[in-house]
Amino acid sequence: MGTIIRNRTIRPSSRLESSKNYKIDTKVVGAIDTLRVNIDHESDSFLKSYWFHGKDVAYRNSISFRVTDYGPRIDISWSGAQPYKEEQNTRQKQSVDKLLVDLDAINRKMKVPTEGIVYSLDPVVDDKSKILILGTMPGEESLRQQAYYAHPRNLFWKLIEAVIGESLPGDYEEKKSFLLHHGIALWDVCHSCERQGSLDTDISDELPNDIANFIVNYPNVTTIGLNGKKAAQLFGKYIGSIQGIKLFALPSSSPANASIPWEEKRDSWLRLKQYL
């Protein structure tokens, strides 16, 4: 019996009216578990938590909620299951004082978003994932497209082709399916941070994703690749190590990391191949 935590951010700036449904993955929730869904907003102080009995969601792949924004009030309506409890949270800024930061602590530490605060994307993962690649925070182009590694000069997808030994499809959704087919998951160390532009060096006031709980929920993940120096630095700051998980610090795939030759980057990333 445990509490499974899911975190979603309402992002009206990147969604059409016809796509205001947000899906919550429930595949790993057991009948005796409790599901907690924390929902915040990219540009509003809205922050609520919803609790579900495991028996109500255990045999579903997902549930979903729809957002209705009335300006001063935001309504959440659920489909697939109904919460047995909801709670309005208060955002406030505190210092992070422990290595393994759970999502409850993150929610208490979050402050009202202002210009310059950015949020990570949802993870790309399924129950067969073996390797988790963690970036720091998606760049401006990735956030605009709501797609990992969307900048045309980012070498991530080329490096993945080298690791897997196959050519990637061109469509982003097909790329995600390709990664999952080969056991690779994607996420970022940061849940949110202040940043102007796309450079990792400009990141400040960061709050981490709940990576330790992610590993609990996806036990087939045995290896974490940290994409870039900043990702490795922040992982060390907030998580440190996870028992049974192999860690690899990788040269950044970012176009800002042009001083390292392609061959050196490729050879370093190829260390992941044996864990697929």
pLDDT of residue 15: 55
Q: What ranges do the domains of the chain cover? A: 3-79, 117-275
pLDDT in tens, 5-19: 888 888 776 655 445
pLDDT of residue 9: 85
pLDDT of residue 60: 83
pLDDT of residue 85: 93
Intervals of the chain under pLDDT 70: 1-2, 13-20, 89-115, 198, 200-202
**Enzyme catalytic residues:** 154
Q: How far is CA 144 from CA 13, 15, 148, 198, 209, in A?
A: 9, 11, 10, 12, 20
pLDDT of residue 99: 34
Residue whose pair of structure tokens reads 């609790």 in the numeric block: 51
Measure the CA–CA gap between 189 and 208, rounded to whole angstroms.
6
pLDDT of residue 68: 86
Number of continuous H segments (helices) and E segments (strands) in the chain: 8, 14
- 219 token code pair: 């036990």
pLDDT of residue 110: 42
CATH number of 117-275: 3.40.470.10
CB 261 within 8 A of CB 236: no
pLDDT of residue 19: 54
R_g of the chain, CA atoms, integer Å: 18
pLDDT of residue 106: 45
Measure the CA–CA gap between 3 and 157, rounded to whole angstroms.
34
pLDDT in tens, 38-76: 888 877 778 899 999 988 998 888 899 998 887 778 889
